[in-house]
A and B are shown apart, each in its own frame.
Chain A
Amino acid sequence: MKNLILHLNRGSKSKFFFILVTAFFVITLPACKKEEKKLFDVNETGILPPNSGKNKLKTNEQYVAILHANLFQYALSANQIFEIGQCMESIGDQELAREVVISNFMNKPGTIIPSKSQMTADLDFFITDTYIRFLVRKPTEAEKTYFENYLLANITPTDTIMPELVYISFALSNEYMYY
């Protein structure tokens, strides 16, 4: 009897040992899998300035039509656009021609331009609004900072036409010539 019990104990022990070894491998083998190295990164993508999509040059007629709408908030007639385009064509220096056309508009009643006091009351708004009006985009922080610093440094108490000059500079800018 004692031998039988001993045999049984011996059998249980080996079975227990077998189960223990199997369990060890079942548990530990997957844990021994070689660890994968995961690399976390950002997909490559082209970063372009906000004005990068402007690559089509406006015709003189398009330029004049848009300029007039920007300054007066209403459209020129087709005949006026055509005739102003002809005037511009009759001048060899196109930049000079644009200056003359703009300053001619500035001399007419009805231009919608903020006053100096409106400009200085909220410079940040003025700059953002001018970018949106002329260049159809918001300024970058660098651009905003430049104009804030420039205007604060250059507005004099006697100066009354700085907003007009800002508008002219935008209307003469190369970016304004493209869409």
Chain B
Amino acid sequence: MKRRDFIKKAGLAAAGSFALPYILPSGRLFASSGTTPLANHVVLVMFAGGVRNQETIGQSYLQGSQMIYAPSQAQAELNVSGNIMPNMLVGNAPSSKILYGKGTGGQIPILPVLSNTLQQQGSLFTEMKSSSAGHYGGLNVLLQGNTFSSQGLKQRPVNPTIFEYLRRHGGPVDFPASKLWFVGNTIGNSVPLLNYSLHPQYGSQYGANFFAPLITFGPKGDAYLRDAKIYHPQDQLGPMYEMKYFLDNSFENIGNNLPNIGNTEAEKYQIKQFMKTMFNKTSAGTISFPPDHAAAGNGDTATVGYACEVMKEFKPKLTVVNLSAVDSCHGNFTGYLKSIHRADHAVGHLWNYIQNDPVMANNTTIIAVPECGRDLQPNLIKDSQNNFFGYDHSDANTLDVFCLMAGPSVPSNITVNAANNPNFSGQWVTADIPPTIADILGLKGDVMGANLLMSGAGSLFDKS
């Protein structure tokens, strides 16, 4: 019944729009997949490393973050609100005091890449709760759909990640290792540990490929990885692997096996060729970075550029991209605003890139969701540029996040919240993301059936 109410509202909102082709014969609009994939590809953007709803979907800009904490003489100038995410959200930009853009003092907003925002193209969940207030815990939830008090900060996820669910239950033909990618923006904060879990029934053999491109293809990779020889796959690598396997079999009797994500020899060869190409493209300046990366980019825009290259080469079933430049908010609120604006620019470019890819266009669903929010009250640290207060992430406001989803079978221009869905008594949580991805790729039953998700977690297609 709850579902029907949502569908009714969704149907009204979408009437006459291009969402009509997605209405199912049953009359249901927002339908889960069962075993039939809703799209062949999913891109999950773990959006930006802790952002407050106030500056994102709340669009309160300086009015909601700095004005009331500023000296009275400065309050009038800071009484400005507006949307600083023109690719993702509908809303007018702040009318004054623009300092998040490019140029001197950030006074020029970066032009949007998308002519229609992702909000218009998809569904916006405005009342999602983060299941963890910390970065690593938050990322863990987005990938494993659960959270544990025993989860260590320098430990792989305790429960299976969505990568492992897909590879184990989807099988090696549809979900080989090279079809699942995690593109991280750092090797810090335990990010490289997130491509597979410690779970005994899943683990490394079902893990995803991972690159932290700023390292892999940055100055360090250039110094130590770039000159790698590419051996002939049959004539040279064939004998080499044969001898290696003999040595491994000999050692296997002792019981020591190394974690291995199971790229085949052909997949490894493709990845090594890809790396070679990336070094060349990086030198030539032809990586598919967002349009304003050169003028106003940061680590997040660079990471998205390499994520586009990964998608171009491998056409992954699932691509996960981690952005986190906004974490500067602890002590640099101006930098935080700039980083939100750039993360939005990067996501707009990513979606535009996908829609221009012959394989992934119209067959890819994007999900953008922060791993956590930030505090309601600022800390005492002021930034050097504008004397703005910073924000940490430890109170109840930290749990408030949004989720934006667009792609095939996702109703367009829908806002999902309690007001629009009065009969839905549950909660939208970040732990819903893994089952939602599984739902899109046709494996919801397997993931839900494993009984390893957080209580109440489920596909967002079933929670509307």
What is A's interface to B at a CB cutoff of 8 Å?
49, 51-52, 54-55, 57, 80, 83-84, 86-87, 89-96, 99-101, 103-104, 106-108, 143, 146-147, 150, 154, 161-162, 165-166, 168-170, 172-175, 177-178
Contacts and interface: CB of A to CB of B under 8 A. Distances in A.
B207 A92 contact: yes
Contact of A165 (B230, B236, B260): B236
A170 B247 contact: yes
B23 interface: no
B457 interface: no
Contacts of B182: 92
B271 A87 contact: no
B225 interface: yes
A51 B253 CA distance: 10
Nearest to B223: A83
Contacts of A177: 258
Contacts of B259: 94
A106 B225 CA distance: 11
Contact of A175 (B212, B251, B272, B275): B251
A100 B236 contact: no
Contacts of B75: none
Nearest to A95: B260
B261 A93 contact: yes
A177 B236 CA distance: 22
Top 3 closest A-B pairs, CB basis?
Answer: A92-B210, A169-B243, A90-B215
B254 A51 contact: yes
A107 B247 CA distance: 24
A93 B177 contact: yes
Nearest to B276: A100
A99 B272 contact: yes
B77 interface: no
B276 to A, nearest CB: 10
Contact of A173 (B177, B220, B230, B247): B247
Nearest to B184: A90
B247 A49 contact: no
Given A86-B215, A100-B275, A150-B242, A91 B247 contact: no
Contact of B254 (A54, A150, A168): A54
Contacts of B239: 154, 162, 165
A156 to B, nearest CB: 9
B216, B243, B246, B252: residue with the most chain A Cβ atoms closer than 10 Å: B243
B208 interface: yes
A96 B263 contact: yes
B258 A55 contact: no
B192 A90 contact: yes
Contacts of B221: 87, 90
B244 A91 contact: no
B227 A108 contact: yes
Given A51-B250, A100-B272, 4 more contacts: A93-B268, A103-B228, A169-B241, A174-B248
Contacts of B271: 93, 96
B251 A174 contact: yes
A88 to B, nearest CB: 9
B240 interface: yes
B333 interface: no
B227 A107 contact: yes
Given A95-B258, A169-B243, A174-B258, A90 B216 contact: yes
B181 to A, nearest CB: 8
B247 A169 contact: yes
Given A87-B224, A94-B259, A108-B227, A165 B215 contact: no
B216, B246, B248: residue with the most chain A Cβ atoms closer than 10 Å: B216
A173 B256 contact: no
Contact of B225 (A51, A57, A87, A161): A87
Nearest to B230: A103
A34 to B, nearest CB: 48
